[in-house]
Amino acid sequence: MSSIFGGLEIAKTGLYISQQAMNVTANNISNANTKGYTRQRISSESLYPSVFTRFHEGVAVGAGVRIKNVEQIRSAYIDRQLRSGYSALGYSSTRAQEMEFICSIINETSNNSSISLALSDFYNSLSQLSASPDNAEIRTNVQQNGLKLCETLNYYYNQLVDQQNSYNESMKATVDSINSDLAAIADYNRQIAAYELSGQSANELRDKRALALDDLSKLINIDYSEDETGQITIKTGGSTLVDKNNAYLLEAKPELTGKVSGESGYYQIYVTGEETPLVYTGGQLKAYSDLRDGDTVGTVGIPYMLENLNTLARSLAKEFNAVHRTGYTIPAGSGGSLTGIDFFNVPVDGYDGITAGNISLSAMVLENVNNIAASSSPIDLSAADTQEGNNEVALKLYALASSKDIEDIGNFENFLKSFIVKVGISSTSAKDMNASQDTIVTNLENRRESISGVSIDEEMVNLMANQHAFAAASRMLTAIDDALDTLIKRTGIVGT
């Protein structure tokens, strides 16, 4: 027969577990809106009777309940999916946002200022020049519109180079954020391993580490695995970034030059101590590096845009100069009619030295509008036939506007148009990609929330259940107490 006091022990375990369950519920409710919090549950098991009792008494009643652990409810599978989703989202959201910004710089839909408008105005003044080659005002107009075209190209070029520089700096800043996450994760690894030696799970530390891992996966693509001590190893492109409590931090070395722009101090990313650069394919870091270095139609980045503008600028200078050089100027002062004059400035290293950033009018044309060569024969103001009305070269200059056989370009306007459209499409597709990636991640986050999130309704129901269990266990104690009372006070008093 079991001791009557055994019942008290059993009821006590029930009382105790209900109380703890209410604490866990309180904790869940308190953290209902805490970022990264994973709901917790008591995991319990029934206690079996002692071997002695079972062996000797033959009848066995369980010995109550025991708290095994306070466990978290999370799905490692969804976490893993979500983190690869975060890498893609980190890439696509940064890219979409930045491409949109670039599109606001290259504002070709504007009615006030754009490269297309500047080009069109330049053509317009050339067309007027061909109608009145001797008119000084119209010549000034050609000079000013040429200047405007150069300045517009210069402005766009410099804005884009500024943007390229800022992406370079953003890479450095991203590397700093990655490093702080890596250091934090290595530290959590150490704490979790130490805590879990006790056999209890380090729930709160795991929540924090998971949060840091989420954050890290938005910055760079990662592979990770957890070992038996609860510590995770992080790898990117074959390089180990975190191993147990060691973090191998990234280093941004300013050893590159900017593609096309040739700006200095561009960062190459290394794992500290490694000889070869880190290989990464996703996250915000990759988005910035693609924007900084992208020079193909597939990966449109700043260098792609700069290269196109440079080609345009170079070709404008080359073609207009070739025609302009055949023309003759109106004599300025005492000098005669000149020929072989450049319209656009040619730097010392030739046309290859021209970029959209430095294209300018030649010193001659800037100095005097009469140095615009519109005539195909020398102009002599003292002769009976001055030839001032000769517009043959002006016509040829204007014909370049509609020419479709320009080397490397085809037609200036069409080239510009197709370049702008490519940038626009690239931005649109970045937006679309981001929207679909966002949907995927939202869906996964919902699934994670569905598993790990706190539901107030559910907690209240649990609270009621535990409250009742607590009350029942208390009643149990009262009942046993009554029995003892009967036994002690009212048993064996016959005849007294």
Partner 1 sequence: MRITNNMITNGFLKNLNTNLSSLTGYQQEVSTGRSLTSISDDPSRLISSMQARSRLGKISQYQSTLNAAVTWLDQTDSSLSQLNDVLTKAYETAVQASNDVLTQDERKSLAEYIAQLRDQVLTIANNQSSDKYIFGGYNVNKQPFTVDEDGNILYNGLDLTDDTNPELIAMGSQSIGYQVGYNTVLGVSVTGTELLGTGKDNIYTVLDDLYKTLSGGAGGPDIDGYITKIQRCQSRVHTVQGRIGGLTNRLEMLQEIYAQQSNTYTKQKSEAEDADIAEVYTKYSAARTVYDAALQVGTQILQCSILDYLK
Binding residues for partner 1, per CB under 8 A?
32-33, 99-100, 103-104, 106-109, 116, 120, 123-124, 127-128, 130-132, 134, 375, 377, 383-392, 395, 398-399, 401-402, 413, 417, 420-421, 423-425, 427-428, 431, 442, 445-447, 449-451, 453-458, 460-461, 464
Residue 159: what residue type? Q
Least separation in angstroms between CB 40 and partner 1: 14
What's the CA gap between 59 and 403, in Å, rounded? 106
Q: What gap in Å lies between CA 123 and CA 144, rounded to an integer?
A: 12
Distance CA 89, CA 356 (A): 34
Between 297 and 425, CB nearer to partner 1: 425
Q: Please, what is the minimum distance in Å from the beta carbon of residue 401 to partner 1?
A: 8
Beta carbon nearer to partner 1, 184 or 373: 373
Closest to partner 1 by CB, 111 vs 496, is: 111
- Pair 107, 114: CB distance under 8 Å: yes
Nearer to partner 1, 108 or 181 (CB): 108
The smaller minimum CB distance to partner 1, of residues 302 and 480, is found at: 302
**Tokens 């975060």, residue located:** 86
Q: What is the smallest separation between the CB atom of 104 and partner 1, expressed in angstroms? A: 6
In whole angstroms, how close is the CB of 224 to partner 1 at the nearest point? 25
Beta pairing, strands 239-243 & 232-236: antiparallel
Question: 82 phi and psi, to 5 degrees?
Answer: -65, -40
Q: What is the closest distance, in whole angstroms, from the C-beta atom of residue 143 to partner 1 in the complex?
A: 18
| Shortest reach from residue 202's CB to partner 1, in Å | 23
| CA triple 205-207-213, angle to 5 deg | 105
**Nearer Cβ to partner 1 (92/168):** 92
DSSP type of residue 109: T
Q: Which residues pair with 253 in a beta bridge?
A: 268
Query: 3-class SS at 472?
Result: helix
DSSP 8-state secondary structure symbol assigned to residue 372: S
Shortest CA distance to 466 belongs to which of 14, 39, 46? 14
Taking the least distance from each CB to partner 1, the nearer of 402 and 436 is 402
Nearest 10 degrees: Cα torsion 331, 337, 340, 345: 0
| Whole-Å CA distances, 294 to 382, 467, 481 | 59, 63, 81
List the structure tokens of 334: 């005492």
| Shortest reach from residue 72's CB to partner 1, in Å | 15
